[in-house]
Structures are given as structure tokens and as C-alpha cells.
Structure 1
Amino acid sequence: MLIQENTGLIVIDVQGKLARIVNESDKLISNLEKIIRGCQLLELPIIWAEQNPQGLGATVPELAELLKNQQPFEKYSFNAMENESFKKAVLNSERKQWLVCGIEAHICVYQTVLGLLSHNFEVEVVADCVSSRSKENRDLALKKLQNKGADVTTVEMCLYELVKSSKSEVFKGILNLIK
């Protein structure tokens, strides 16, 4: 079970033209906006990364605007945990549970989740917030990650799990995001 005080969000490489050509890209970006806004309402730490931004471009404007008060971690390794600054941010957050979303599911998301698991974090991949150019690669990545010990969730499922009660101060805000 996700616990608000123990959970953070990692957003991986939702950049440039690639973000527009992955499977169901419009739905992906809409769901990413929801989870980022939800995590902000819940005051969860959000760590985001960009893979080779000079080559792939910046994070898509819809998400960059939501994250404007922080900077992305620039990386070149597919596993973001191999970037020392990124790894330090994760370790210093004192969070034990991480929601992971972004692209591509079978490359950078997959390898970053394995990196987090190797550091004994609990990881939940947000299925409707990850994609790849092909649905087959996305689906295989989710299956392999489950076999390696990651859990799979959805935006709605994880946000309600974190809110826990309709009496929560942020329930109405979360409800408005999900509707």
C-alpha cells in the first residue's frame, strides 16, 4: 500500500518529438499531467529526468510548465540511477516508495526501475503513464518489471490509494483531476 509520507514520483524522459510519436501519446501526456498535479496536491517530491536533451529536445511544454519550479536531471545512461545527481536526489528524499512514469517503457523506464529495485526501493510503474513507440514493447516492459518485483498501478488507483479517504483535505482536488 502506498503511503503519502513514503512516496515520491519519478518522471522519465517525456521529451521532444519522441513524446509525440509514442503509442497513444495524447492520452499519455494527459495522464502525466494528472499524476503530476495529483502528486503536487499531495506534496510528494517529484524528480524528473531528461535523456540527452541536446539530441532529443526538452520535456514537452505541458509537463515542463507544471514542473517549472525545479530543474530536470540531464542524463545519458538509460538507467537514471546511474546519474549521480539523480541518484543522490532519490536517496536524499528519504522516500521508500516510488511511482515511475515516462518513456520509453522498455528502455529508460525499464532500466531506471531496475536501478531503483537494486537499491531496495518499492516501485510502482504507472501503467497509463508509460508508453513506447510500440504497444508490444510497453506491454513486455510492464510484464518483465512485474516479474522483477515492481508493482503496476494506474493514475486513478495510486492517487486514491495515497488520499485514503474522502475526508482528506486533498480529496476534492484529486477528484476534480480524475473526473
Structure 2
Amino acid sequence: MLKVDETALVIIDVQGKLAKIMHQSGEMLRNLERLIKGAQLLDIPILWLEQYPKGLGPTAEEIKQHLTDNSPIDKMAFSACKSDTFQEELKKLERKSMLVAGIETHICVYQTVSELLNLGKEVEVVVDCVSSRTLANKEIGLDKMKSLGASVTSVEMVLFELMGTAEHSKFREISKLIK
């Protein structure tokens, strides 16, 4: 079970026009907004990445508007773990559990998850917050990550798991996000 004080959220490359052409992009972006707001309510730290922003553009405005307390970490390698800045931020957080969301499932998300697992992190991929241009590539990426030892979850499942009880001080606010 995930614990608030042991968990961080990693958002990968939800950028520009690319974000708009993902399979079921509207649903993915709405779910990602819910996840970010929930993480913020629960004080879960967020690491936010952008792949080659000069070429792919900035993070989609729907997402960026909720990340005002963060700055994106630029990267060129597909895996976030190849970024020295990401590695430094990851070490500062001292979190063992990583929630991972973003695009594309079969490329940057997959490679990041693979390396996070190699670093000894427990990784949960938020399935309704990842996508690829095709459903087939999303499914292939998810299957490979599961075969490596990553778990899968959903926005609703993870937020309620992190709260653990309806008596949690943020229960009403989180419940409103889900509805």
C-alpha cells in the first residue's frame, strides 16, 4: 500500500501538440488534472519533465496551470533517469514509491519506469493518466512495465489508497475531484 510520506509523482512529457494527438487525449488530460490536484491536496511532491521543449513545445496548458509551484526538468533522453537534474531531485525527495504518469507509454514512460525499478523504487503506473498515439502501443508499454515489476493503478484507486480512510482530513476534497 502506498503511503503519503513515501510517495512522489512523476509527470512525463505531456507537451504541446503531441499531448493532443494521444489516444483518448481529452480523458487522459482530465484524469491527469485530477491526479495533480489530489497529489497537491495530499502534499505529494511532483517531479515534472519535458522532452526537448524547444522542439515539442511546453507542457499542455491544462496541466501546466496546476504546476505553478514546480518548474519542469528538461531532458533529451527518453528516460527521465538519464537526466542529472531529475536524479538530483529524486535523491532530495527520499521517496521509495513513484507514481508515474504521462506520454508516451511505450517510450518515455516505459524507459523511465524501467530505470526507476532498477534504482530500487516501487513504481505504480497510473493507467488512466498515460497514453500513446495508438492504443496498441499503450497496451504494449503497460505490459512490458508490468513484466518488469511495475504495478498499475488508476487516479481514483491511488488517491483513496493514499488517504486510507474516509476520516482523512482531505476526504471531502478528494471525493469532489473524483466526481
Smaller-chain TM-score bracket: over 0.9
Q: For residue 71 of structure 2, what is the aligned residue in structure 1? A: 71
Equivalent-residue separation in structure 2 for 1:112 and 1:88 (angstroms)? 15
Amino acid at match of 1:54: K
CA apart distance, 1:88: 1.0
Unmatched segments (≥5 aa) in structure 1:
none
| 1:121 aligned onto 2:115 | no
Q: For residue 158 of structure 1, what is the aligned residue in structure 2? A: 158
SS of the equivalent of 2:123 reads strand
Q: For residue 83 of structure 1, what is the aligned residue in structure 2? A: 83
Equivalent-residue separation in structure 1 for 2:151 and 2:90 (angstroms)? 19
TM superposition score normalised by structure 2: 0.99
Equivalent-residue separation in structure 2 for 1:61 and 1:104 (angstroms)? 18
CA apart distance, 1:77: 0.2
Equivalent-residue separation in structure 1 for 2:69 and 2:148 (angstroms)? 34
CA apart distance, 1:18: 0.4
| 1:146 aligned onto 2:146 | yes
Structure 1: 4+ residue segments shifted above 6 A: none
Query: For residues 86-127 of structure 1, what are the alpha-carbon distances to aligned partners after superposition, in whole Å with 9 as ceiling and x for unaligned?
Result: 111112101000000000000000000011011000000000
Equivalent-residue separation in structure 2 for 1:88 and 1:136 (angstroms)? 34
SS of the equivalent of 1:66 reads coil
Q: What are the equivalent positions in structure 2 for 1:3-14 lying under 5 Å apart?
A: 3-14=3-14
Query: What's the Cα RMSD here?
Result: 0.5
Unmatched segments (≥5 aa) in structure 2:
none
Q: For residue 35 of structure 1, what is the aligned residue in structure 2? A: 35
SS of the equivalent of 1:34 reads helix
CA apart distance, 1:152: 0.4
Matched positions, count: 179
Identical-residue share of aligned pairs (%): 48
SS of the equivalent of 2:8 reads strand
SS of the equivalent of 2:146 reads helix
Equivalent-residue separation in structure 2 for 1:166 and 1:42 (angstroms)? 14
Q: For residue 107 of structure 1, what is the aligned residue in structure 2? A: 107
Amino acid at match of 2:152: V
TM superposition score normalised by structure 1: 0.99
Query: For residues 41-77 of structure 1, what are the alpha-carbon distances to aligned partners after superposition, in whole Å with 9 as ceiling and x for unaligned?
Result: 0000000000000000000011111001211000000
Q: For residue 134 of structure 1, what is the aligned residue in structure 2? A: 134
